[in-house]
Structure 1
Amino acid sequence: MEPNVRFWIAESRSFVQRLLQWTELLDPTNLITSIEKIEKSRQLLFTSEDAYRFDVDDQRIKNAWKRSLSTVHPDSSRLIPILFRPAAFLPLTVPTVFLSMMPAKGMKSMILPQVSLYAYTTGFTMVNGNASYSHSLPAKILLGAGVIASSTFFGLIPHLVQMKYHLDNPWIKRALPIVFLAQVSGMNVFASRSLEPVRGIEVMDKDGNVIGRSRRAGRKAVRETAVSRAVLFGTSAFIPEVFTYFFKRTQFFLQNPQSLWTLKLSCTLLVMGVMVPVSFSMFPQIGQIKYSKLEEEIQALTEETELFYNRGV
């Protein structure tokens, strides 16, 4: 049984416990961990009798779990590419979110942040989604390109509306990009992982034995991830805008108007630094679904009252 799956199933954690766990997994040092160290950590988890006593006070085992959970995909047991590991999400999305919420000064400054943001989030979502089945590289590229193009188009709508109609109401000018960012971020997850509700994802019992593939579990996994992503980007865009609104009315801003960029960037970094682990912790990594909510063909294969599935990130 894949150690990461066993860990998330065995550890019945509250939101606070998941949050504390994710703050460790999002440690930037997980991006530079060598393959050799990861392999040694995985070997320790496979061979040590104490590895699954999760309260054990052994720093080697704790470090092994940290490396494994932050770098290895629980479905495929393969290494996650460095740029798409959870620890890379914050540093790579903060600049694009910041630039996408700044007033556009031309088509280039309007399009590039949107393309960069949705290109990365699409890749991240596809890599860290459920991997119960495999599809060919051309299919992945075609799906990814379509999702990036559509997400970018919808993300540009509030900026195009402002350019065409010259909106004067400051509340609408600020609210429109925030609402679209949250909505498009959620829809980006639905589109990137659109095959999961169609083909179904693997559901397993508490021992990790795969029972079958469920489309309903696939819909639940994608929906939960989409909600967490919408909350992440919506909040990360909203709070800096509120701070900016009040900051513009201070004497300090009137004397130092160039400080607005620094404040907004710092605020975006701070808010996203909090919201990334919060959003990843909103729902369990290995979700649970009631027996009664599964398809009849899966119900006929097991007597378990509750089954598990990998939600993805």
Structure 2
Amino acid sequence: RTTPAVLLWQWVNQSFNAIVNYTNRSGDAPITVGQLGTAYVSATTGAVVTALGLKSLTKHLPSIIGRYVPFAAVAAANCINIPLMGQRKELKFGIPVMDEDGNRLGESRAAARQAITQGGLPRACKSVRGSRSVSPCFCWALEPWECLERYPWLNAPLQVGLVGFCLVFATPLCCALFPQKSSMRVARLEPEVQALLREKAPHAEMVYFNKGL
């Protein structure tokens, strides 16, 4: 609820997300320490600025609206975090595309853009899980009975339990929205990549790539 708490927990959350996004990126291009540092600072700063800005805007709004500030902050940060953490080079140079048998045919920027989109949407959906959707509504519904005011010790186990219950289902369901081995029609690739494929695999109509998680 306090500004230092927002700063601390958004930084902790986005630091964890940065590690996950980097280790599960779609391409195999190397990233320098400087690029990694820039991406990390940009992602964590985006989350903190969004959280503090929304926190100030919701002071005079109903309490249920204020409870969704963490969701908006994390969703906005993911829009920065995912493209930056290890995928900026992929957007510039492309990610490996393969045939159905896994033979590498080339690199495509169009495939990289689709991989980032398919990786970002599940992350946004996962942000709607327990702590940012079910838990705020549930706790808001309890306010008229003052249950949490009378039994403050119930707050922590209740919220942890709700988040844990939702995570059991949200994480695998959101990861399954798109297949790990994604595909794209050759006609949607860049002209130069299409020309390369006509030499290597003239009969190929689809290419496949790892979209990351």
TM range (shorter): 0.7 to 0.9
Change in Cα spacing, 1:259 to 1:213, as seen in structure 2 (3 Å) is: same
Q: Is the 8 A contact 1:201 1:214 kept in 2?
A: yes
Match of 1:147 among 27, 36, 39: 39
Could you tell me how far 1:244 is from its partner in structure 2?
A: 1.4
CA offsets 1:210-237 (integer angstroms, 9 cap, x no match): 1110000011001110111111113341
CA distance in 2, matches of 1:165, 1:197: 34
Q: Is the 8 A contact 1:122 1:188 kept in 2?
A: yes
CA distance in 2, matches of 1:252, 1:173: 20
The answer to which structure, 1 or 2, has the higher relative contact order (CA under 8 A, 6+ apart) is 2
CA offsets 1:93-113 (integer angstroms, 9 cap, x no match): xxxxxxxxxx23x51x22222
Structure 1 residue matching 2:67: 3-state secondary structure: helix
Match of 1:201 among 57, 80, 95: 95
Please list every run of at least 4 consecutive aligned residues from structure 1 whose deviation after the TM superposition is greater than 6 angstroms.
Answer: none
User: Normalising by structure 2, what TM-score?
Assistant: 0.86
Could you tell me how far 1:304 is from its partner in structure 2?
A: 0.6
Task: Please give the residue correspondences for 1:249-260 in structure 2 after superposition, counting only pairs within 5 Å.
Answer: 249-250=144-145, 252-260=147-155
- 2:110 alignment partner in structure 1: 216
CA distance in 1, matches of 2:6, 2:92: 34
User: Normalising by structure 1, what TM-score?
Assistant: 0.60
Task: Please give the residue correspondences for 1:132-171 in structure 2 after superposition, counting only pairs within 5 Å.
Answer: 132-135=28-31, 139=32, 141-161=33-53, 167-169=59-61, 170-171=63-64
CA distance in 2, matches of 1:271, 1:262: 14
- 2:156 alignment partner in structure 1: 261
* Letter of the structure 1 residue corresponding to residue 172 of structure 2: P
Count of residue pairs brought into register by the alignment: 205
Please say if 1:115 is aligned against 2:11. yes
- Show structure 2 runs of 5+ residues with no match: none
Could you tell me how far 1:154 is from its partner in structure 2?
A: 2.4
Match of 2:183 among 266, 272, 288: 288
Structure 2 residue matching 1:181: 3-state secondary structure: helix
Could you tell me how far 1:163 is from its partner in structure 2?
A: 6.4
Q: Is the 8 A contact 1:190 1:223 kept in 2?
A: no
- 1:176 alignment partner in structure 2: 69
CA distance in 2, matches of 1:251, 1:112: 28
Change in Cα spacing, 1:239 to 1:144, as seen in structure 2 (3 Å) is: farther
CA distance in 1, matches of 2:110, 2:168: 32
Question: RMSD of the alignment, in Å?
Answer: 2.1
Aligned residues: percent identity? Answer: 21
Change in Cα spacing, 1:165 to 1:122, as seen in structure 2 (3 Å) is: closer
CA offsets 1:88-130 (integer angstroms, 9 cap, x no match): xxxxxxxxxxxxxxx23x51x2222222211121111111112
Structure 1 residue matching 2:133: 3-state secondary structure: helix
Change in Cα spacing, 1:200 to 1:163, as seen in structure 2 (3 Å) is: closer
* Letter of the structure 1 residue corresponding to residue 79 of structure 2: G
* Letter of the structure 1 residue corresponding to residue 84 of structure 2: A
CA offsets 1:47-84 (integer angstroms, 9 cap, x no match): xxxxxxxxxxxxxxxxxxxxxxxxxxxxxxxxxxxxxx
CA distance in 2, matches of 1:161, 1:226: 23
Task: Please give the residue correspondences for 1:238-257 in structure 2 after superposition, counting only pairs within 5 Å.
Answer: 238-250=133-145, 252-257=147-152
CA distance in 1, matches of 2:24, 2:172: 15
Q: Is the 8 A contact 2:129 2:163 kept in 1?
A: no
Q: Is the 8 A contact 1:288 1:306 kept in 2?
A: yes
Structure 2 residue matching 1:133: 3-state secondary structure: coil
Structure 2 residue matching 1:248: 3-state secondary structure: helix
